[in-house]
Structure 1
């Protein structure tokens, strides 16, 4: 089956809409929400709500122990009213906290490990339809167990579960793991991420 391409994909070509006005309607520690009006030659005027992440990217950590297992965190997520299995992840506490420092802190606080090595291996847009939120992903190796902290009121003392990449991959396939950043990390691990970064 042929799939002709008429031009290379250009993500930075001119916008089909023009921004008219912007008003901030929500401000919080992690994000702000703007109400934005746009003009389109085809559809006329319309409005959208856009979420802007504060303090840089969200950071996620795919960590692997010396015996080849990945720590996944049990967390209760209020918006979806369910428990999830997730790789350690979170936000900067201030504009001065760098992504790598966030990765180290979240691996410590959520999974209870320090790592000898961190390598950034990916970055993705979480919800491009209404947010500018990006997640930077790090691979952590050379792990040493340490005491961890308290995550928050939703999961005040979450459980850390250790799985091989194959076990985690099976949980992605059967729908046990549904968190997007964790799905991406597990699929990358299944494709041999650790070997390519060594």
Structure 2
């Protein structure tokens, strides 16, 4: 399929916006996120409103950990909005604006699956749901693992189970739909395609 050279342009994510923000009001404030009601206008459709979610204290941080014998630790999570259990890599967000992403990664690895890592390296960052949220997730690879006591207790999953799977087993669960969490799927696919070898695998 050919493109018309008169209409083709390189992709530019920062080109001028087609809409104008007219007003913004925060309508929800929580520990995890805030929600704004925002009014926009455009030449094509006139005025319209959107609800935009902002995560507090920066990015969500996820950790893909690999043990010395090639196993990946996952945590069982009960997720209230979808009324189901999920298998996920450990993840979370900063408790305060001063907590750095590396510190978040180290804390969640320890709390949720019971490991400390000698090396943590960020390997990707993505927007979770750009249609209604400004939330990003940063993913880290954790290697040089040492088992430690874990302490994570939450209202949804008071003492979540940790499961260890090989890379192949994890990939099979992505393929057959057992693993449905987006950050976990992205991390496993990056590992499966050999895209993390340059940072320590």
TM-score by length of 2: 0.96
Equivalent-residue separation in structure 2 for 1:130 and 1:11 (angstroms): 17
Equivalent-residue separation in structure 2 for 1:4 and 1:110 (angstroms): 52
TM-score by length of 1: 0.97
Corresponding position of 1:77: 79
Classify the secondary structure of the residue corresponding to 1:83. Answer: strand
Corresponding position of 1:190: 192
**Cα offsets for 1:68-127 (capped at 9, x unmatched):** 010010000000000000000001000000000000000000010000000000000000
Corresponding position of 1:38: 40
Asked if the contact 2:78/2:156 (under 8 Å) is kept, the reply is yes
Give the C-alpha shift of residue 150 in structure 1.
2.6
1:166 to 168, 173, 183: 168
TM-aligned CA distance change 1:152 to 1:4, over 3 Å: farther
Equivalent-residue separation in structure 2 for 1:110 and 1:2 (angstroms): 50
1:102 to 89, 101, 104: 104
Equivalent-residue separation in structure 2 for 1:195 and 1:30 (angstroms): 34
Equivalent-residue separation in structure 1 for 2:161 and 2:3 (angstroms): 47
Classify the secondary structure of the residue corresponding to 1:60. Answer: strand
Give the C-alpha shift of residue 192 in structure 1.
1.4
Corresponding position of 2:69: 67
Corresponding position of 2:126: 124
Give the C-alpha shift of residue 197 in structure 1.
1.1
Equivalent-residue separation in structure 2 for 1:4 and 1:98 (angstroms): 47
Number of positions where the alignment pairs a residue of Structure 1 with one of Structure 2: 198
Structure 2 unaligned blocks of 5 or more? none
4+ aligned runs moved over 3 Å, structure 1: 1-5
Say what the alpha-carbon RMSD is for the aligned residues. 1.1
TM-aligned CA distance change 1:43 to 1:196, over 3 Å: same
